[in-house]
Structure 1
Amino acid sequence: MNRLSRDQMAARVALDIPEGAYVNLGIGLPTKVANYLPIDREIFLQSENGLLGMGPAPAPGEEDWELINAGKQAVTLLTGGCFFHHADSFAMMRGGHIDICVLGAFQVSTRGDIANWHTGEAGAIPAVGGAMDLAIGARQTFVMMELSTRQGESKLVENCSYPLTGLGCVSRLYTDIAVFDLGPAGARIVEMVDGLGTDELRALTGVPLTG
């Protein structure tokens, strides 16, 4: 089985973002998607801290640390891009003006519930940020994450055991070994990496899968 690298996962997500989409990339792994957007598509990247029209990450040594995303990473701004008040950014997110958000997660359920702000463990630092606003405000929510924890437990589950960020909001899950569509009918396999069979994937997730 050939697992996808994090960059390969980002490239796979980028393929599904259509021309003209307004997109928010969550903190962490999803920010890599900006580096793989097809150059023949005009896609508008929005950042929670008040940016619209972000480009790929700057080359090493060319960072402008007054131009950062919500994760405090240096970014570039494409021609025509702009920056604005934090409150206006949240109005875009809450008002249904974002077509797609791409979030990381601790767990996602087969119905599309997402838990990505707190593990519930004593001493863990909660970090909800704008994830709740994005999860319910964006027209589509994608999640990008490794399928398993370091202990080998599936992060695609029937019911999330961590505190929830949103209910039934995730439509597609991208992992290092498979892509899934999620919804009221459960999880459907869209594609798998080479060398992985359906029965093996079912064993790895421990949840019912169709497709």
Structure 2
Amino acid sequence: MSIEIRNQIAARVARDIPEGAYVNLGIGLPTLVANHFDADKEVFLHTENGILGRWVAAEQGHEDWDLINAGKEPIALLPGASFFHHADSFGMMRGGHLDICVLGAYQVSAKGDLANWHTDSPNAVPAVGGAMDLAVGAKKVYIIMELLNKKGESKLLEQCSYPVTGLECVSRVYTDYATFEIEPDGVKVIEIVKDISITELQKLIPILIQPKLKTAV
């Protein structure tokens, strides 16, 4: 996925996060969301390593490696941001104080199960990390991922085949093809972002998807 498309997806997520929300941004693609909020939008970004407030990616050549996000990327803090202990950060996560967390994923099931920590690869580090706490602690879980894996197979499935991080926890999935909402009665397409019809999109996904678009496609 090109950096342009990555930023387009991140911008869509930022647009959908409401004013005043407390939001955790996961490692990888989700960290780009921090760069796409309107300047006057008050959002409280949260990291596992203990930062709360607004920040953006540090400009090249102006990195301060004492200021990093959970993905160990250098950031620049905006006025009002604060630091606190790592244990307090996890207390926020586990105590239900986060409105939204934005995570990456290897797979998401039709029921909203999330698999984002292990692919059963023998060389992978077997540690679920804070994703487990975020999946069950945040009020809503938004996923950013490519719709298809390197084999061209859908990562949105009837059931996850990789080890699961959390059960029935995903609210919404943002991809390079479309944005999906996972509801009790099925997976709904709320936005198509690629030049593709619902029928063509359905051919890529092995589960039934239902249109819930503002305009017909």
Match of 2:215 in 1: none
Is the alpha carbon distance of 1:161 and 1:38 closer, same or farther for their aligned partners in structure 2, counting shifts above 3 Å?
Answer: same
Give 5+ residue unaligned stretches, structure 2. 212-217
* 2:143 counterpart SS class: strand
Contact 1:168–1:183 (CA<8 Å) still a contact in 2?
Answer: no
Aligned residues: 208
Match of 1:103 in 2: 103
**Alpha-carbon deviation of 1:83?**
0.7
Hey, what's the Cα distance between the residues in 2 that align with 1:72 and 1:54? Answer: 16
Contact 2:54–2:79 (CA<8 Å) still a contact in 1?
Answer: no
Q: Quick check: 111-120 or 52-61, which moved more?
A: 52-61
**Residue identity (%):** 60
- Give the counterpart letter for 1:13 in structure 2: V
**Alpha-carbon deviation of 1:78?**
1.8
Matched, 1:19 2:13: no
* 1:126 counterpart SS class: coil
Match of 1:47 in 2: 47
Matches within 5 A, 1:1-211: 5-211=5-211
**Alpha-carbon deviation of 1:104?**
0.1
Hey, what's the Cα distance between the residues in 1 that align with 2:156 and 2:127? Answer: 21
* 2:81 counterpart SS class: strand
Is the alpha carbon distance of 1:116 and 1:194 closer, same or farther for their aligned partners in structure 2, counting shifts above 3 Å?
Answer: closer
**Alpha-carbon deviation of 1:54?**
3.4
Contact 2:180–2:189 (CA<8 Å) still a contact in 1?
Answer: yes
Runs of 4+ in 1 over 6 A off after TM superposition: none
Per-residue displacement from partner, 1:96-141 (whole Å, max 9, x unpaired)?
Answer: 1111000000000111110000011323223422001001100110
Per-residue displacement from partner, 1:72-102 (whole Å, max 9, x unpaired)?
Answer: 1011222121111110000000101111000
Hey, what's the Cα distance between the residues in 1 that align with 2:126 and 2:13? Answer: 26
Larger RCO: Structure 1 or Structure 2 (Cα < 8 Å, ≥ 6 residues apart)?
A: 1
- Give the counterpart letter for 1:114 in structure 2: L
Hey, what's the Cα distance between the residues in 1 that align with 2:162 and 2:185? Answer: 22
**Alpha-carbon deviation of 1:163?**
0.4
- Give the counterpart letter for 1:63 in structure 2: E
- Give the counterpart letter for 2:175 in structure 1: T
* 1:56 counterpart SS class: strand
* 1:76 counterpart SS class: strand
Hey, what's the Cα distance between the residues in 2 that align with 1:152 and 1:206? Answer: 12
- Give the counterpart letter for 1:23 in structure 2: V
Contact 1:111–1:185 (CA<8 Å) still a contact in 2?
Answer: no
Hey, what's the Cα distance between the residues in 2 that align with 1:127 and 1:178? Answer: 30
Hey, what's the Cα distance between the residues in 2 that align with 1:62 and 1:44? Answer: 23
Give 5+ residue unaligned stretches, structure 1. none
TM-score after normalising by structure 2? 0.93
- Give the counterpart letter for 2:187 in structure 1: A
**Alpha-carbon deviation of 1:186?**
1.8
TM-score after normalising by structure 1? 0.95
Hey, what's the Cα distance between the residues in 2 that align with 1:179 and 1:105? Answer: 14
* 2:200 counterpart SS class: helix
